[in-house]
Chain A
Amino acid sequence: MVKVGFLSLAHMHAYSYGHALNQLPNAELVGVFDPDQKRGQAGAQQMNTKFFSDPGELLKQVDGVIICSENSLHRHFTELAASYGVHVLCEKPIATTIEDGQAMIDVCEKADVKLQIAFPVRFNTPMMRVKEMLERGAIGEVLAIRGTNHGQMPGGWFVDPELSGGGAVMDHTVHVVDLIRWFLGKEFISVYAEADNMLYDVPIDDCGMLSLEMEGGIFVTQDPSWSRPATYPTWGNVTLEIIGTEGVIDVDAFAQNFVVYDDQNRKVSQKTFTEDMDLGLIKDFIEMIEEDREPSITGYDGLKAMEVALGAYESARLKKTVQL
């Protein structure tokens, strides 16, 4: 039985991860620490587990923790977990600066604990299928990829630059960048980006457009904008159009859905029936601890994805291409 806890529930993905933990026969959710006591207590209750007011008490009792804090606190909690010899699954992005991200990798290595970054889209069934197709050359050689990871404006600490390290570009670049690195086993070498605040009255970028070059001359564009309005029938999307010498693949991670028209709440919503990718991610994390193997998504993967987002901000500021 692998014992797991949460350090902070600031990121809403925590609830889905908690739900996943409660479904796994080989995992036990020991408890939740959250500096926001009210949120932590409510969350613990919702996840049917205990609230800890002292993170040390929780860390003494677990094999692994899931860090769902504000982005800029990822380093602090990772260092804390490592000091107790506890393995870490950290919400994306890894951090808000290269320095913090590298420090997290280093401290985990030194403490001999594993650091995994939460890129759940790697566990999305359509995306796994596409990886397999690309590996057997279904569309020849990949030439270019058009990506989107649109979302609704999340509000809260996501729009506080101190806590999030960036808005839409930081929030919604890393998933697609990670997927493509995973698909192709190649690195991004340059980025050109537009980023701005135009959609909401928030003190952070809420829209943008990235144009990237990879090793081997493959180019990629990525739209990270929080451009789904409140009336949109779902939170957003992750789509890729992969252009090859012998064909093209269009993939929409959440196309497997039906639509509900709900008069009582005056709401139209898409309900996905894709297998739960968060469950896949958590299952993988638990197995990694159980089997004492290397993480499937490493701190380095997290660092490389964040590097692209940081490069995009620099490019948008300089209005020119930035080499990575």
Chain B
Amino acid sequence: MIRVGVVGYGTMGQVHSQAYQEINDVELVVVADPDPEQRAQAQRDFGVDVVSNIEELLQSSQVDLVDICVPTYLHETILTQAVESKKHIFLEKPLARTLEEGERMLKLAEGYEQKIGVGHVVRFTPAYTGIRESLLQGEIGQAAVARTFRGGSQFPKGWHDWYADFDLSGGVILDLVIHDIDYLRWLFGDVERVYAKTTHGRTTAHLEWAMIVLRFKNGVIAHVEGSWTNYPGDFYTTVEIAGRDGLIKYDSRNVNPIITTTLGETGERAGVTVPENPAAKSPYLVEIEDMIGAIREDRDPLVTLEDALGTLRVALAAEESARLGQVITL
């Protein structure tokens, strides 16, 4: 039995907590959150113990795996405490807010006897793993130009609107576009140089659009785009990879096998159309199964802290490029 404590019961904490319910011999035993409403929610959802004090959770001998779902700027502090308590650790992405934090975290992880995994969930998302398979099978030959998009949805809701504070969240590049940066690194390896533009500082905090050009050491040129918006819109993602022998194209808007249109609650006009892309397992469940597998089989999780640091380095280089208006060579 692996006993789990989730730290932070916001959006991701709730998603992870649900995933633990679906794995055999794994039990969510405690949730920590400073907000009494979130604690009450956790109790209602899963009937688990709740604590307001994170130290209490970390020091509990009842917990084997600490799942950290707190805002980015708190990652280093909580991870450090969890390391002191000798727990296995699963940490939501991005690794950290700054490179210094990330590097200190890597030091802590060196020689650490328990497992540390980072939640870059795109590596567990079926379309994305399928595309990687096609690429590795050589179906489009040597890759040359890649394009990704992630966004279109309204600005994320967080504790005290922390996403809107660039110093805390790092904005759309660090929080959202980092998914695709990580994915592309998984496909193409290390990045040679980065050039990026973002609307950060040119508009309100609740609208940010970023476009990044990456040049990988293997030659691949990538256009990586993401957005948070202050106008209505549905979240979607796209991937396109052109190779010497073909092209892969994916658009999440085109893969909904079910589209339901119903009357609204009032019976007319306010009707809704809901696209659905059902799957037996959510990517979050697959990601957490990998983490549990790493603990049980005594192996590395798919995304190690070192991987996540490599990705963080590129995301922060993109932000630096956008700030300076210059290309950043890594």
Shortest distance in angstroms between B131's beta carbon and chain A's nearest beta carbon? 16
Q: Could you tell me the distance between the alpha carbons of A196 and B215 in the complex, rounded to whole angstroms?
A: 11
**Contact A320/B245 with A143-B202, A247-B231 known, Cβ cut-off 8 Å:** no
**Contact A207/B211 with A143-B202, A243-B227 known, Cβ cut-off 8 Å:** no
In the complex, what residues of A have CB within 8 A of residue B326's CB? 320-321
Q: Is A227 an interface residue (CB 8 A)?
A: yes
Q: Are B247 and A248 in contact (CB under 8 A)?
A: no
Q: Is B244 an interface residue (CB 8 A)?
A: yes
Q: Could you tell me the distance between the alpha carbons of A198 and B144 in the complex, rounded to whole angstroms?
A: 6
Q: Are A219 and B221 in contact (CB under 8 A)?
A: no
**Contact A243/B213 with A209-B223, A225-B145 known, Cβ cut-off 8 Å:** no
Q: Are B207 and A245 in contact (CB under 8 A)?
A: yes
Q: Are A246 and B209 in contact (CB under 8 A)?
A: no
Q: Are A245 and B203 in contact (CB under 8 A)?
A: yes
Chain A minimum-CB-distance residue to B143: A198
Q: Is A285 an interface residue (CB 8 A)?
A: no
Interface residue tally for chain A (C-beta within 8 Å):
35
In the complex, what residues of A have CB within 8 A of residue B213's CB? 192, 194, 209, 211, 221
Q: Could you tell me the distance between the alpha carbons of A248 and B231 in the complex, rounded to whole angstroms?
A: 9
Q: Is A228 an interface residue (CB 8 A)?
A: yes
Q: Among the interface residues A196, A198, A207, which one has the most CB atoms of the partner chain B within 10 A?
A: A198
Q: Are A219 and B195 in contact (CB under 8 A)?
A: no
Q: Is A199 an interface residue (CB 8 A)?
A: yes
Cross-interface CB contact of B244 among A144, A198, A213, cutoff 8 Å: A198
Q: Are B142 and A198 in contact (CB under 8 A)?
A: yes
Cross-interface CB contact of B229 among A207, A229, A248, A319, cutoff 8 Å: A248
Q: Is A146 an interface residue (CB 8 A)?
A: yes
Cross-interface CB contact of A221 among B197, B199, B246, cutoff 8 Å: B197
Q: Could you tell me the distance between the alpha carbons of A219 and B327 in the complex, rounded to whole angstroms?
A: 15
In the complex, what residues of A have CB within 8 A of residue B205's CB? none
- Render B164-204 as a binary contact track against A, CB cut-off 8 A, 1 for contact: 00000000000000000000000000000101110100111
> Chain B contact residues (Cβ within 8 angstroms of A): what range?
35 or more
Q: Could you tell me the distance between the alpha carbons of A41 and B142 in the complex, rounded to whole angstroms?
A: 41
Chain B minimum-CB-distance residue to A226: B242
**Contact A211/B195 with A194-B221, A225-B242, A247-B231 known, Cβ cut-off 8 Å:** yes
Q: Is B325 an interface residue (CB 8 A)?
A: yes
Q: Are A143 and B233 in contact (CB under 8 A)?
A: no
Q: Which A residues, 187 to 227, have Cβ-Cβ distances below 8 Å to chain B?
A: 190, 192, 194, 196, 198-200, 206-209, 211, 213, 217, 219, 221, 223, 225, 227
Cross-interface CB contact of B219 among A196, A248, A319, cutoff 8 Å: A196
Q: Could you tell me the distance between the alpha carbons of A138 and B207 in the complex, rounded to whole angstroms?
A: 17
Q: Are B246 and A231 in contact (CB under 8 A)?
A: yes
In the complex, what residues of B have CB within 8 A of residue A148's CB? 147
Q: Could you tell me the distance between the alpha carbons of A245 and B206 in the complex, rounded to whole angstroms?
A: 10
Q: Is A261 an interface residue (CB 8 A)?
A: no
In the complex, what residues of B have CB within 8 A of residue A245's CB? 203-204, 207
Q: Is B27 an interface residue (CB 8 A)?
A: no
Q: Are B144 and A199 in contact (CB under 8 A)?
A: yes
Chain A minimum-CB-distance residue to B201: A217
Q: Are B203 and A143 in contact (CB under 8 A)?
A: yes
Q: Could you tell me the distance between the alpha carbons of A190 and B211 in the complex, rounded to whole angstroms?
A: 16
Q: Is A182 an interface residue (CB 8 A)?
A: no
Q: Are A320 and B327 in contact (CB under 8 A)?
A: yes
In the complex, what residues of A have CB within 8 A of residue B231's CB? 246-248
In the complex, what residues of B have CB within 8 A of residue A321's CB? 195, 325-327
Cross-interface CB contact of B197 among A213, A223, A232, cutoff 8 Å: A213
Q: Are B199 and A229 in contact (CB under 8 A)?
A: no
Q: Is B67 an interface residue (CB 8 A)?
A: no
Q: Are B193 and A319 in contact (CB under 8 A)?
A: yes
Q: Could you tell me the distance between the alpha carbons of A199 and B247 in the complex, rounded to whole angstroms?
A: 11
Shortest distance in angstroms between A59's beta carbon and chain B's nearest beta carbon? 43
Q: Are B199 and A227 in contact (CB under 8 A)?
A: no
In the complex, what residues of A have CB within 8 A of residue B233's CB? 248
Q: Could you tell me the distance between the alpha carbons of A225 and B222 in the complex, rounded to whole angstroms?
A: 11
Chain B minimum-CB-distance residue to A243: B209
Q: Could you tell me the distance between the alpha carbons of A243 and B152 in the complex, rounded to whole angstroms?
A: 11
**Contact A221/B223 with A207-B242, A321-B325 known, Cβ cut-off 8 Å:** yes
Q: Could you tell me the distance between the alpha carbons of A217 and B215 in the complex, rounded to whole angstroms?
A: 24
Q: Are B195 and A192 in contact (CB under 8 A)?
A: yes
Q: Could you tell me the distance between the alpha carbons of A229 and B240 in the complex, rounded to whole angstroms?
A: 13
Shortest distance in angstroms between A72's beta carbon and chain B's nearest beta carbon? 26
Shortest distance in angstroms between A197's beta carbon and chain B's nearest beta carbon? 9
Q: Could you tell me the distance between the alpha carbons of A211 and B327 in the complex, rounded to whole angstroms?
A: 11
In the complex, what residues of A have CB within 8 A of residue B209's CB? 143-144, 243
In the complex, what residues of A have CB within 8 A of residue B306's CB? none
Cross-interface CB contact of A144 among B197, B204, B245, cutoff 8 Å: B197
In the complex, what residues of B have CB within 8 A of residue A200's CB? 244
Shortest distance in angstroms between B90's beta carbon and chain A's nearest beta carbon? 34
Chain B minimum-CB-distance residue to A194: B221
> Which residues on B are within 8 Å of A, measured CB to CB?
140, 142, 144-145, 147, 152, 193, 195-197, 199, 202-204, 207, 209, 211, 213, 215, 219, 221-223, 225, 227, 229, 231, 233, 242-247, 325-327, 329
**Can you list 20 A-B contacts (CB < 8 A)?**
A143-B203, A192-B213, A192-B327, A198-B144, A199-B144, A209-B145, A209-B213, A209-B223, A213-B197, A223-B223, A227-B242, A227-B247, A229-B245, A248-B231, A319-B327, A320-B326, A320-B327, A321-B195, A321-B325, A321-B326
Known: A190-B325, A243-B227; 4 extra A-B contacts, CB below 8 A, are: A144-B211, A194-B221, A221-B223, A248-B233
Q: Which 10 A-B pairs have the closest CB atoms?
A: A227-B242, A198-B144, A219-B197, A194-B221, A221-B211, A192-B195, A207-B145, A143-B199, A229-B246, A225-B145
